[in-house]
Amino acid sequence: MKKALVIILLVILLITTVIVCLGIGPTGISYKYLSGTDNDTESKIIYEVRLPRILGALLVGLGLAMAGSVLQAILRNPLAEPYTLGISGGAVLGVALCLVVPFLSAVKFSLPLMAFLGALASVVLVYLITSRHHFSASSLILSGVVLSFICSSIVLLIFSISKPTEIQSTLFFLMGSFATIDYPIIKIIASPLIAGALVLVFFSRDIDVLTLGDEKASHLGIAPHRLRAFLFIVTSLITGCCVAVSGMVGFVGLMIPHIMRSIVGPQSRGLFIASALSGAIFLVVSDTLARSVIAPVELPVGVITGIVGGVFFIGLLINAKSI
C-alpha cells in the first residue's frame, strides 16, 4: 500500500508543479491566472508560451523515465537508458537528416518518424553488439558512447555541408531544449508516446519475469526473444517521440528509475508509474529553471539534466557494489 501512497503523492506533486511553473518566468504573472485573466498579454504568455513548454517537458520527462526503466529491466542492467545507450543519439541523427533533406522536411509527420527510425536502428545495433557480452555494463556503456559519437559525428558532417540557417534549429536538438516547441508537434507525439507508455504498463508482469533471464522466462511461459524485440520497438517509439520535440535530454531515464526503485521497489508496474510521474515532475522543474535562471537568456534544458544526471551517474559508478 506504500506504493499506492507514493503514486498518489506524486500525482499531487505533479499537478502542483505544473501550476507553480506556469506562474514562473521573466514576466511576473500573479496566480490570478488560475481564476481566468482578462489581461490579453498575460493569457497569451500563459497559454501560448509557457503551457506548451510545460506540456512538452511533462510528456518528455514521462517518456524518457519510462524508456529508461524498461531498458534497465530488459537488459537487466541499472545503467541502461536511452541517452547512455546512444538511442537518443540515433534519434537525433534521424531528426538532423529530416531537417536538411528537403523532401523529408516538407512532410509533417516525418520528424517524429525519422526520430523513431533513428532510435530503432540504434537499439538494434546496441542489442547486436551487447548480446554477445551478455549485456554487461561495460559493453552497454562502451557501445553507447561509441554509437553516440558516431551519430553526432554524422550530424556534424550534415551541418558542415548544409546552410547556416538550417543548422541553427538543429543545434538545439544536439543540446536538448524545449525552446522551439509548439502545439502542433505536441499533438503529433502525444498519442504515440502515451499509447507506448500504457502498453509498457500492461506488459509489466511479463517484463518482471524477463528480468530473471531468458531461460527462467521461458520456463514461466514467456517467449523472451519475441517479447524483448517488441519492447525494444515500443521503447524506440517513445524515445523517438521525446527526441522529436526536445532533442537529446540526458540521464532522466537513468536517474529517475533508480531513485524510484529504492522507494517503490523493483516490480515493474509500480516502478513504471512512479518513474513516469517523477520524470515528468523533474523535467518540468528543470525546464522552468532553464528558462528562468539567467533570463532573458535561456539555458538548454539538456545542460541542466546533463550536469545533475552526470554527477548522479558518477556517484552510482563509485558506490555500486557490482555493475
Nearest to 116 by CA among 130, 101, 97, 95: 95
Residue 136 sits in the site that holds other proteins (CB under 8 A): no
- Of 116-124, 164-172, 181-189, 215-223, the segment contacting other proteins by CB under 8 A is 215-223
Residue 206 sits in the site that holds other proteins (CB under 8 A): yes
Nearest to 7 by CA among 285, 278, 280, 283: 278
Q: How far apart are the C-alpha atoms of 22 and 33, rounded to whole Å? A: 9
Supply the minimum distance, in Å, between the C-beta of residue 155 and other proteins: 33
Q: How far apart are the C-alpha atoms of 179 and 185, rounded to whole Å? A: 13
* Cell numbers given for 202: 500492461
Q: State the burial class of residue 62 (Cβ atoms within 10 Å of its Cβ: 0-12, 13-18, 19+).
A: buried
Residue 228 sits in the site that holds other proteins (CB under 8 A): no
Supply the minimum distance, in Å, between the C-beta of residue 259 and other proteins: 14
For other proteins, the closer of residues 109 and 202 by Cβ is 202
Q: Which helix (H) or strand (E) holds 120?
A: helix 110-131
- Of 70-78, 137-145, 293-301, 308-316, the segment contacting other proteins by CB under 8 A is 70-78
Residue 132 sits in the site that holds other proteins (CB under 8 A): no
Helices (H) and strands (E) in the chain, counts: 15, 0
* Span 264-293, contacts to other proteins by CB under 8 A: 265-267
Residue 220 sits in the site that holds other proteins (CB under 8 A): yes
Binder to other proteins among 173, 178, 203, 282 (CB under 8 A)?
203
- Of 50-58, 162-170, 187-195, 206-214, the segment contacting other proteins by CB under 8 A is 206-214
Q: How far apart are the C-alpha atoms of 323 and 317, rounded to whole Å? A: 8
Q: Tell me how long the chain is.
A: 323
Positions that interact with other proteins (CB under 8 A): 73, 76-78, 202-203, 205-206, 208-209, 211-213, 215-216, 218-223, 261, 265-267
